[in-house]
Amino acid sequence: MKIAVPSPLKKKIPSEGKKKRVIVIAGPTGVGKTKLSLSVAQAIGGEVISADSMQVYRDMDIGTAKASPEERALIAHHLIDICDIDEPFNVAEFYKCCQESLRDITSRENVPLVVGGSGFYIHALLYGPPAGPPSLPDVRDQLDRQMRDMGPEVLYERLQLLDPDYACTISERDRHKIIRALEIIALSDQKVSDFPKSDRLIEQDYDFRCWFLYCSRENLYSRIEKRCDEMIRLGFLDEVRQLDQRGLRINPSASQAIGYRQALQYLSSPQTEADYLAFISLFKKVSRHYAKRQFTWFRKEPLFRWLNIEEHTPAHLQELILQDFEQGD
């Protein structure tokens, strides 16, 4: 199978004046973003900003494939381990924290590298956070309780009645989006679909140099399945057990994260051998599906140039990114 790749010629965006350049390295899960970003950061005096919606949580380590403590000691990392598992975190908070990190890094004349696979977060960095009123703890807590007590199906049906146009773009499994949509409606008395969508770059003091790493689907799926096996070998289920004791299930975002949701389901089962094998199979399946969605998302992002990791050595990938950073126009 071949993956349709957007033409790189359409991805070239001119730099603007003397704006400070920021390298953005995105790609599907398991493609090797972390390893490449570390080598680029070492070569250029860079610091990494994580664009992963789950790496913000302390102790969600194995299942989110965080950079190791040794790697983080070598290269400064930002937006990792900044929240406890019972604390909410959303795209608006990511945007605020990311802007703070960009200012901090560039003030020291270092180079920011934004690295991750969360298309929603990276889109917000480039185009601004989604429109809508800021979250209110009382309203959010009430909706969280309703989600726990009544289930996502009931709240999704409510959203279908209040904003059918937006509801058709998500599913009843998108718990965080359902809650946020109902919160926006409650606070603004407007439909989510009435708010304008961000499709123009916001004016910033940065020139984003954006790259999307990819490889053939067969290779990627093999890498993903091996990584799932390695996570389990490293103690992923024990990690989820400990997080479960500290409130993982009541976090509407973290409890639905890839792997964590499936692990929680397994831990709630009789945990027979058949249950275990079903968990492993489902873990790999949802990870593959997530990678497929990442391809779909970034095909729509015009700033990104695509790099096939099968066509370049790691050293050449690094060279391409650094040459563009130094000489790109």
**CATH at 23:** 3.40.50.300
What's phi and psi for 23, nearest 5 deg?
-90, 130
Q: Residue 14 falls within a domain, yes or no? A: no
Q: Residue 4 falls within a domain, yes or no? A: no
Q: Residue 217 falls within a domain, yes or no? A: yes
Tell me, yes or no, whether 236 and 117 share the same domain.
yes
Q: What pLDDT does 78 receive?
A: 98
Tell me, yes or no, whether 219 and 294 share the same domain.
yes
Q: Residue 160 falls within a domain, yes or no? A: yes
Q: How many structural domains are present in the chain?
A: 2
**Tokens found for residue 29:** 């899960």
The predicted model scores a pTM of 0.81
Boundary-marking domain end, from 194, 222, 242 = 194
Q: What pLDDT does 88 receive?
A: 82
Tell me, yes or no, whether 90 and 178 share the same domain.
no
The answer to whether the CB of 95 falls within 8 A of the CB of 124 is yes
Average pLDDT, the chain: 89
Tell me, yes or no, whether 112 and 96 share the same domain.
yes
Q: Residue 126 falls within a domain, yes or no? A: yes
**What is the domain range of residue 45?**
19-130+199-327
**CATH at 180:** 1.10.20.140
Q: Residue 10 falls within a domain, yes or no? A: no
Q: What pLDDT does 92 receive?
A: 84
Phi-psi domain of 12 (left: phi exceeds 0; alpha: psi -120 through 50; beta: other): beta
Tell me, yes or no, whether 115 and 229 share the same domain.
yes
**Between the CA atoms of 177, 206, 204 and 109, what dihedral angle is there, to the nearest 10 degrees?**
100
What are the beta bridge partners of residue 305? 211
Tell me, yes or no, whether 75 and 118 share the same domain.
yes
Q: Residue 43 falls within a domain, yes or no? A: yes
Q: What share of the chain is helix, strand, coil (3-state, %, to 5)?
A: 55, 10, 35
Q: What pLDDT does 313 receive?
A: 95
Per run of 10 residues, the mean pLDDT along the chain (length 329 residues) is: 44 56 97 96 97 95 96 96 90 92 96 94 89 80 90 92 83 84 88 72 87 97 97 98 95 90 97 98 96 92 96 96 87
Q: Residue 33 falls within a domain, yes or no? A: yes
